[in-house]
Chains A and B, each alone.
Chain A
Amino acid sequence: MAGRLTLYIFLAPVLLWLFLLIVLPHIDLFFISLQAENDMGDMVWSLSNYEAFFTEKIYWLTFLRTAVYAILTTILTFLITFPIAFYITKVVSLRVSGFFTILLLVPFWVSELVRIYGWMILLRESGVFNHYLMQLGLIDKPIEMLYNDISMIMGLVYTSMLFMVVPLISSLEGLDDGLIEAAYDLGASKIVIIWKIVIPYIMPGITSGSIVVFMLTLGNYLTPNLMGGKNSLWFTEQIYNQFIASFNWNQGAAFGFLLLILSTLIIWIGLKVTRQNLSRALS
């Protein structure tokens, strides 16, 4: 009897949290996305919000662009951070490895806004890089290095590296050096060792890192907005515009729901392809 009581004490707040703050709001989001004002100004059930998405080129093009760039960012983040994770866990001497890890983690505790602001100071037309390039005589007049796709992708990679490098480090720590030594003794080249031994072993780490990086990039607003400028065309900006600028909540809800479907779909495909499941990948 007492056992049942503790179960309910734990269950009640968890149910309240999940149903009131997660399940109900998303059901409401879906219902509101299916409503629109008719000519009389009354709210009626309608698919017009979704229709607008498919007929207005700017909407679905931005959607597609966001998806492709989020995937690209995830891949780049992995390629950039994998050598670092490998270096920290397998190459550098054990004495300094802890120091390298702390050095890696600390910057990511700092707010995303502050980090992006730092890049803006470095890259903008009146920025630090331009100042030095001019002083060195390499350029005659300042170049705008911000507000293009490359700077935006770089910013997105920069802000999400932590979420890739931490799972990579923890799965690499579990990899027995003996496996690599054995392969080396048997004559395997570096590339073969990485491809046939290291990568398959750390696949769960890669999957969980990729899921989080992809989701955060897809839902990012700050970085595309501040580093991509007017050309960023990021889908979260469309959502923001509908909610804050046009005050068309129904249209915004439809966009939000579409973004949710997209992120769920791509994460599901990623899990299927790598034969992982969500509970294992996240915990």
Chain B
Amino acid sequence: MIRSLPTGRFYRFGYTAYVSLFYLFLFSPLVITCILAFNDSNFPGLPWEGFTLDWFFADEEHRTGIFHDDRNLNATWISLQTAVAVAFLSLIIGTMAAFLFEQEQFRFKQALFFLALTPLVIPGVILGISLLLASNSAGLFFENNLGIDFEILRPSFGLVVLGQMSFISTFVMLVVSARLKKFDTSLEDAALNLGATRPQVIRYITIPYLKPALIGAGSVAFLMSFENFNTTLFLVGSDTTLPISLYLQVRDGSTPLINAISFVLIISTSVLALVNLLVSQKKID
């Protein structure tokens, strides 16, 4: 049953078989996507027609590799910009929220904390449409009453950043809070007793202690933003992000070009995931 207890051979065999099947189930779609990125066929499927790198480097009329495909390169660039902006803003807001709820005392703290958790239980589609409606209402209000037209209130890059930030900040808050809970506050007290100001304590004592959590939360925030679909779908303007652009292509029939993009995404996120996991493992040791 568990390591220290004896089990029957049949039971152990069955359990191992189940676990193997599970991992097969987990990896088969990813592995097949990667393999077919190198198939010399105009259709992403079998039979195998031979190895090619066309879907990465070709620049012909009916075969464009990803490094010459302006549409997806452009979408990737926009997604990267969005992800950097969202990770940066969510880190600031989320960390401030963590400090607020872990270290400060004020009225209605519990209620506000509850409110800060709600973005996690609101479906992303609803966050998207409610922000779309509200920004549209606000835009109309400003235009009718003040005669000013705010670009950010229309579906645009800025609105996507705000929409994604609204729930990614909560993730950052939870990750940073978890580490802040384990923090020995006597370190802060000692620094304060020795004459440090509160900002100095935060700058030189607390932030260095939080660094692993900040790096971890930042990379998760980056990835969540880069891959977000549900919220972005309603807020995006003419500059489509990569997930939206890929969705439109997959829906309308696909070419191995999608496999090549997927291959790059799988490899780069796996590397990022491994680095992040190793960094956080180190933190625990």
Contact = CB atoms under 8 A, between A and B. Distances in A.
Interface string A211-250: 1100110111110011000000000100110010000010
B interface bracket (residues with beta carbon within 8 Å of A) = 35 or more
B173 to A, nearest CB: 9
B146 interface: no
Given A103-B23, A113-B250, A283-B177, A256 B129 contact: yes
Contacts of A93: 3
B80 interface: no
Contact of B30 (A84, A107, A278): A107
| Overall SS of chain B's interface | helix
Contacts of B250: 113, 117, 120, 226
B2 A90 contact: yes
B133 interface: yes
B46 interface: yes
Interface in B245-281: 246-247, 250-251, 254, 258-259, 262, 265-266, 269-270, 272-274, 277, 281
Given A103-B23, A113-B247, A121 B133 contact: no
B7 to A, nearest CB: 9
A179 B250 CA distance: 50
Contact of A264 (B121, B166, B174, B274): B121
Nearest to B269: A109
Interface of B: 1-5, 15, 18-19, 22-23, 25-30, 32-33, 36, 43-47, 92-93, 96-97, 99-100, 104, 106, 110, 112-127, 129-137, 162-163, 165-166, 169, 174, 177-178, 197-199, 223, 226-227, 229-230, 233-234, 243, 246-247, 250-251, 254, 258-259, 262, 265-266, 269-270, 272-274, 277, 281
Contacts of A9: 96
Interface stretch (A19-27, A49-57, A199-207): A19-27
A29 interface: yes
A263 B45 contact: no
Interface string A78-103: 00100110010011011000100011
Contacts of A161: 26
A110 B121 contact: no
A145 interface: no
Interface of A: 2-3, 6-7, 9-11, 13-15, 17-18, 21-26, 28-29, 32, 80, 83-84, 87, 90-91, 93-94, 98, 102-107, 109-115, 117-122, 126-128, 131-132, 158, 161, 177, 180-181, 184, 190, 193, 211-212, 215-216, 218-222, 225-226, 236, 239-240, 243, 249, 252-253, 256, 259-260, 263-264, 267, 278-279, 282-283
Contact of A84 (B22, B129, B166): B22
A111 B243 contact: yes
Contacts of A32: 133, 137
Contact of A28 (B97, B124, B133, B226): B133
Contacts of B166: 17, 21-22
Given A6-B198, A25-B131, A119-B29, 8 more contacts: A18-B116, A110-B266, A114-B266, A180-B1, A222-B230, A243-B132, A256-B125, A263-B123
